[in-house]
Amino acid sequence: MNLCIDQGNSRTKVALMTDEGKIIKDFIFKSFSSSDVERLFDLYPITDSIISSVVDIEAAVVNTLHRRSQHFVLFDHNTPVPIINRYDTPQTLGQDRLAAAVGAKSLCPNENLLIIDAGSALTYDFVTAQGEYIGGNIAPGLKMRFTMLQRMTKKLPLVEVEEKELIPLFGTNTRDAIAAGVIRGVAYEVKGYMRTLQEKMPHFQTYLTGGNAPYILNNVRTSRTEDRQMHHEKHLVLIGLNEILCFNKMKNEK
């Protein structure tokens, strides 16, 4: 059993997975320490592990994973991956972005892919049908947009939106105007990327992931073609990490 760890800005997502990519169990930690690693190894038959982080990883966490795993991967820009990375500065590419690209390619191996991760930041990445990661874009995430509207103005409030809340086209009060401006702005941004790609290439698929993905899905009204092209996979980064772990295990065994 593989232990896959995705350490983000605000939380750590963890999954227990098979080599075939089946998720046995998943967890979310607000904080993650070496004692959590020890507990997972004590409770489950874990043999191999991988960790990716957009923040500094505690040395104790790395040491514990290394000690308790038969195969351990500390995912960074030097780690071999099963796609071709064409990014000009691979050392600055967020590991979660690259892992999500690997995850999408494993789920849909013969298609051009747009990968959208709606987390603290909103990222757009593209992988060709030939398995080449060619780059992507970074934009402010939903919470960041709400927060900056409040911080950079004198009278606008900080707005929070429920995940399943349907947003009006136009707000009839300040709260709804902010909610509609941010949520619909992001939704139209997503649709814009999809429609621009549709003009350039007839065949591609979109994978949407990240904690704020449901906010976008619930408020996007697309054509039937676009609906068929969009897939929501909340575990996309973990699926990619599992693929990277298995890829490196095979390389080591040869």
Q: 229 pLDDT band (50/70/90 cuts)?
A: confident
Domain annotation for the chain: domains and CATH numbers = 2-74 (3.30.420.40), 110-237 (3.30.420.40)
Write down the catalytic residue from 6, 26, 56, 96: 96
Q: Which of 56-65, 127-136, 200-209, 232-241 has the lowest mean pLDDT?
A: 200-209
- What residues contact residue 219 under an 8 Å CB cut-off, 6+ apart? 166, 167, 183, 184, 187
Question: Residues 78, 106: contact at Cβ < 8 Å?
Answer: no
Question: Residues 135, 126: contact at Cβ < 8 Å?
Answer: yes
- Give pLDDT tens digits for 152-172: 999 999 999 988 788 889 999
209 pLDDT higher than 80: yes
What's the rounded mean pLDDT across residues 106-121? 94
225: tokens are 């073609």
* Claim: this prediction has a pTM higher than 0.85: yes
Cite the DSSP H helix spans in 108-221. 142-151, 174-200, 213-217
211: tokens are 């904690």
DSSP-derived 3-state class of residue 61:
helix
Single-letter residue type at 202: P
222 pLDDT higher than 80: no
Largest distance between two CA atoms of the chain = 64
What is the C-alpha separation between 39 and 162, in angstroms, rounded?
A: 34
- What residues contact residue 249 under an 8 Å CB cut-off, 6+ apart? 19, 48, 71
| Known catalytic residue at 117 | no
